[in-house]
Each structure stands twice: as C-alpha cells, then as structure tokens.
Amino acid sequence: MIELFSANTPNGWKISIMLEEIGYEYKVTKVDLGKDEQFKPEYLKISPFGKIPVIIDHENNKSIFESGAILMYLGEKSGKLYNEKDRLVINQWLMAQMGTVGPMIGQHHQFHHYNPGKSEFGEERYFKITKRIYGELDTRLKESKFLAGSDYTIADIATWPWMARHEWHDIGLKNYKNLSRWYQEISNRNAVIKGYDIFKNGSKIPIL
Ligand SMILES: N[C@@H](CCC(=O)N[C@@H](CS)C(=O)NCC(=O)O)C(=O)O
C-alpha cells in the first residue's frame, strides 16, 4: 500500500493521478500547507524541503520526495507509463516540467492570482513566461500526440495538472489548438478525473 502525503495542488494531483492510472491501493494523508504542517519535524524527516508530495511505500518502507522522482519510481515499479523505448524523451519532458513548467507557472500563480498589485515586475515577468510556455507546449503537441511521443506517459501526468489551473492564468488555453486537444484528451481519462478529486469532495476538472 502506498501512503501519499499531499494537498489539493498541481504537484499533489500528479501523484494521485499516477496512482489511479496504475491501479495501486493508496491512502492520502492531508498536509495542511495553510497551517504549516509541512514544517513539522516528523514531516521534514521524509520531506527535507518541507514540500508535498511525498509517498511512503509500505511494502518496503521506502519514502520518496520530489514529484518527478515519485513518478519515476511508480513508473518503474508498475512497469506502466514510463516505457523503456521512449525513456530518454520522457525524462527530458519530465525534467522540463520539473525545472521550467512548474516553477515558472507557480510564480505566475503567486504574482497574478494570489498577490495582484504587489509587484508589476513580477506580474509581467511570469505572465510573459507562462504565455511562452503555453506556446512551447503547443508547438511540441503539434508534432507529437503526447509530450514524449505517441504514448501517454509520466511526462504528461507531470504537466497536465499545471494546465488544469488555466483559469487562473488568464492566457486563454482555447487559443492553443494542440495544447487544448491534449488537455481535453487527458481530462477525459477516468484516472485523471479520480486523481484530480484527491480528497473525494467532488472537485471537477476545469473545462476548456
Ligand atoms: N519540486 C517539488 C515542488 C513541490 C512543491 O512546491 N510543493 C508545494 C505545493 S504545490 C508545497 O509543498 N509548498 C509548501 C511550501 O513551500 O511551504 C516537487 O515537484 O515535488
């Protein structure tokens, strides 16, 4: 059984979606970020930077932090969504999500959604970068059905949750034809619908 320490955020949804996709038994332990539960000494033992998500694999008592590392672990363990033939390409798109898509769009959330009016520089900078990311993903998805090729993989699972915040971005996902096609196709998957509703309180995926 896998225990997932998480919150209702894009980085958290990545792992509940993956666990639904591979059909593993799991339970979610909520980490209340608003109450700083991520900084409790017990939690810092399994998450040195005080972040969600983390998993504990109770089959072997391993704990794993960093969503990309967790996706790779679950992909290898299950033999699903991280195929050998495309691994080099999957790794690149996964790392691009970890290093660029998530951190940059995360800043856009901070300046544009949570703290508008506090920094014109921050708002403009991350709006522009997020818009560029939309364009870059759209270009990739014009030539490729999924991010790492013809198969749906952990690279898509890592990236889709950031697009599921598209209403916060004010960029207009609909205007990006290939990115919209990809977003819609993944949004229709049962595992994604279930994994998005991580705390089983009826959360629905934002429509296009
Ligand atoms: N690179 C990390 C980022 C995780 C991350 O930033 N998690 C956020 C929620 S989406 C968090 O735990 N924030 C709490 C904090 O920074 O205090 C990963 O992908 O696992």
Same domain, 99 and 176: yes
**Is the CB of 51 within 6 Å of ligand 1?**
yes
- Whichever domain contains 45, its CATH number is 3.40.30.10
Expressed as residue numbers, the domain containing 133 is: 87-188
Q: Say if residue 91 is in the same domain as residue 181.
A: yes
Q: Cα–Cα distance between 4 and 94 in angstroms, integer?
A: 20
Last residue of a domain, one of 19, 50, 81: 81
Residue 194 lies in a domain: no
Q: Express each pLDDT in 156-190 by its tens digit.
A: 999 999 999 999 999 999 999 999 999 999 999 99
The tens digit of pLDDT for each residue in 104-162 reads 999 999 999 999 999 999 999 999 999 999 999 999 999 999 999 999 999 999 999 99
Q: Which helix (H) or strand (E) holds 125?
A: helix 120-143
Distance of CA 49 to the CA centre of its chain: 18
Ligand 1 closest atom vs CA 52: 12
Are 133 and 184 members of one domain?
A: yes
For atom 16 of ligand 1, the residue with the nearest CA is 51
How many domains does one find in the chain? 2
Assign residue 114 the CATH number of its domain. 1.20.1050.10
- Asked if residue 15 has pLDDT above 90, the reply is yes
Q: Are 43 and 5 in contact (CB under 8 A)?
A: yes
Query: Ligand 1 test: best mutation among 16, 29, 38, 51, most atoms within 8 Å of CB?
Result: 51
DSSP H or E stretch at residue 3: strand 2-6
The reply to whether omega before 10 is within 30° of 0 (cis) is no
Does residue 49 surpass a pLDDT of 90?
yes
What whole-number distance in Å separates Cα of residue 71 and Cα of residue 35?
A: 27
pLDDT at 208 > cutoff 90 = no
